[in-house]
Structure 1
Amino acid sequence: MTDPVSRTMLLLDIEKYSDRDDVEQAYLRRVLYDIADRALERAGIDETRRLRADRGDSVMELIDANASVTALLRALLTEVPSQLHGYNRLASRSAQIRLRGVVATGYVAVDTHGGWVGSDLNHACRLLDAPLLRAALRERTDGFALCVSEGVHTGIVRHDHHGIPADDFHPVTVTSKNGPLRAWLHGPVPHGTQNHGDTGAGEAPVPTTSGDVPAPGPRTREAPAPPTPGAHAQPAPAAGGVVFNLGGSPRIGGSLVGGDQHGVSGGQVTGDVHLGGTTGEES
């Protein structure tokens, strides 16, 4: 097996291919090859810069990593729909052709039997077979549904190049045997599909700080209890201050301290000292 090398991957698949008879399938395969060749030529990618694998109802192209992905996407979004329109308007009902497409990037190796090996390629194939992409094609009037990988979107699509409007691509997440796959769908997301788009209302929000728990707000002090009838109103003590109740014992902050108290500097406080709170001995 060769060492894995970076490649751009283009996958195209015919909708409802297995519903056709042998003669129609053979004809549709030729049409598929012709559409792929014209789109790649329009992007400036000749046969010396790509390797093709035939998968019956689909075709896969391994493209030189130095070839322009921007030009490839621009050609796919213009050339493929144009060719499909020109062909389908003259074809019989049984010979109509509609295509799903995927563009991805990653590392691929070629084994001794000419097979292609690579997890990035596996992900691209699963995007091509995803029910969401199939549903999207059913709603397309131009007969073409295109999905690009997260890497292609990050490197190319989101920069809004000429002929590749970034706003026309929408985030989707498709399920696979290896877990969810993030991708970007060109055109509207099909109705009734699930697990697509950004974080929904039912999902936990992403923390905006370094911790998982929000920072605590400012601490509030409870309002003092109203004075009992007949008692003398007293000002609320400042934090750490001392309040002497008329006819009662002094209070300092929090808990009760019983007995005579001798200060460090030689002073003395006689009687019970309350450090906040109340006791049953209060009058």
Structure 2
Amino acid sequence: MDDPVFRTLLLFDIEQYGRRDNVEQAFLRRLLYEVANATLLSGAVDETSRLRADRGDSVMELIDAQASVPRLVKTLLTETPALLHSKNRLMAESARMRLRIVLASGYVAVDEHEGWVGSDLNHAVRLLDSDPLREALRNRTDDCVLCVSDSIYQGVVSHGPLGVRPETFHRITVDTKEGPTVAWLHGEPGPTPPSEPATGSVPAAGSVPTSGSVPTPGTAAPQHSETHVDGDQYGQTGGAHHGDTTFHFTRSRRDEQR
């Protein structure tokens, strides 16, 4: 196995791919390649600076660390959505392609079977398959949704390079058996689910305090913009993962219900 090298990781995954028939899946795969190639070209990443892995309903790009990450982030926020919109607007709604996208970075090794190995890659795959990303795409009208790793956010996005606004991202946390994985999701956070009022909390307007409750006038319930998701079930195949994983891409992944 080769020594691990630091790379930028770009992952695309098609929403509800498993619900399409064979003809539709073949069409979507061609479309996915077109979008991935156009995104990388616009981001100034040529073919000699990247390595692609095909997972059937998704592709992953291993990009040379010399490629400009700020430019790639800007491309994913502007050019990629515009490209997807221009293609989808010509198709029936049932045939349109919507994408979950993750941009991350870390050390990855390539083994003798051309498989990719590395915990940073594992985290990126878990983000791609996580509930916050799925729910964000499901609840929006956009054709794609972007999530960046904490290292990409802290090292690039938070500094506000040209064309990138840090305030348009919000923090999410995905719990795994190896510990929580922090990332940043582009777009507005979803609504906070209502919680049961606790003893000592402020009663709703017009209600009568019950015995034991101590209303505090003018005190509002704290608000949090972070999304927190439990469960190891959000791995790359829906199962839990242990330690580093070798990903093999010479065979198509089992078709999953999306």
- TM-score normalised to the size of structure 1? 0.68
Amino acid at match of 2:57: D
3-state secondary structure, aligned to 2:74: helix
Quote the residue 1:99 is aligned against.
99
Q: Using the TM superposition, give the Cα deviation of residue 168 of structure 1 relative to its aligned residue in structure 2, in angstroms.
A: 0.5
Quote the residue 1:7 is aligned against.
7
Quote the residue 1:136 is aligned against.
136
Contact 2:81 2:143 in 1 (8 A): yes
RCO (CA 8 Å, sep 6+): is it higher in 1 or 2? 2
Amino acid at match of 1:51: L
In structure 2, what is the Cα distance between the partners aligned to 1:199 and 1:174?
8
Q: How does 1:187-206 map to 2 (within 5 A)?
A: 187-192=187-192, 197=225
Q: Using the TM superposition, give the Cα deviation of residue 193 of structure 1 relative to its aligned residue in structure 2, in angstroms.
A: 7.0
In structure 2, what is the Cα distance between the partners aligned to 1:174 and 1:115?
25
Contact 1:130 1:175 in 2 (8 A): no
- Does 1:87 find its partner at 2:109? no
Q: Using the TM superposition, give the Cα deviation of residue 137 of structure 1 relative to its aligned residue in structure 2, in angstroms.
A: 0.6
Q: How does 1:239-258 map to 2 (within 5 A)?
A: none
- TM-score normalised to the size of structure 2? 0.74
Q: Using the TM superposition, give the Cα deviation of residue 192 of structure 1 relative to its aligned residue in structure 2, in angstroms.
A: 5.0
Quote the residue 1:21 is aligned against.
21
Q: How does 1:1-283 map to 2 (within 5 A)?
A: 1-192=1-192, 197=225
Quote the residue 1:210 is aligned against.
none
Q: Using the TM superposition, give the Cα deviation of residue 2 of structure 1 relative to its aligned residue in structure 2, in angstroms.
A: 0.3
Q: Using the TM superposition, give the Cα deviation of residue 74 of structure 1 relative to its aligned residue in structure 2, in angstroms.
A: 0.7
In structure 1, what is the Cα distance between the partners aligned to 2:75 and 2:158?
17
How many residues get paired?
199
In structure 2, what is the Cα distance between the partners aligned to 1:186 and 1:180?
19
In structure 1, what is the Cα distance between the partners aligned to 2:2 and 2:47?
20
Deviates more, 1:135-144 or 1:54-63: 135-144
Question: Percent of counterpart pairs with the same letter?
Answer: 58
3-state secondary structure, aligned to 1:175: strand
In structure 1, what is the Cα distance between the partners aligned to 2:12 and 2:191?
23
Unaligned runs of 5+ in 1: 201-283
In structure 1, what is the Cα distance between the partners aligned to 2:193 and 2:101?
19
TM-superposition CA deviations, 1:15-56 (whole Å, max 9, x none): 000000001001000100100100100011010000000001
Q: Using the TM superposition, give the Cα deviation of residue 175 of structure 1 relative to its aligned residue in structure 2, in angstroms.
A: 2.1
Amino acid at match of 2:44: G
Q: Using the TM superposition, give the Cα deviation of residue 71 of structure 1 relative to its aligned residue in structure 2, in angstroms.
A: 0.7
Amino acid at match of 2:65: A
In structure 1, what is the Cα distance between the partners aligned to 2:121 and 2:27?
27
Q: Using the TM superposition, give the Cα deviation of residue 162 of structure 1 relative to its aligned residue in structure 2, in angstroms.
A: 1.2
Q: Using the TM superposition, give the Cα deviation of residue 142 of structure 1 relative to its aligned residue in structure 2, in angstroms.
A: 1.9
- Identify if the C-alpha distance between structure 1 residues 120 and 197 changes in structure 2 by more than 3 Å, giving closer, same or farther: farther
In structure 2, what is the Cα distance between the partners aligned to 1:25 and 1:199?
32
Unaligned runs of 5+ in 2: 195-223, 229-258
Q: Using the TM superposition, give the Cα deviation of residue 178 of structure 1 relative to its aligned residue in structure 2, in angstroms.
A: 2.2
Q: Using the TM superposition, give the Cα deviation of residue 199 of structure 1 relative to its aligned residue in structure 2, in angstroms.
A: 11
3-state secondary structure, aligned to 1:30: helix
In structure 1, what is the Cα distance between the partners aligned to 2:138 and 2:127?
16
In structure 2, what is the Cα distance between the partners aligned to 1:174 and 1:19?
26
Deviates more, 1:132-141 or 1:39-48: 132-141
Amino acid at match of 1:187: G
Amino acid at match of 1:33: Y
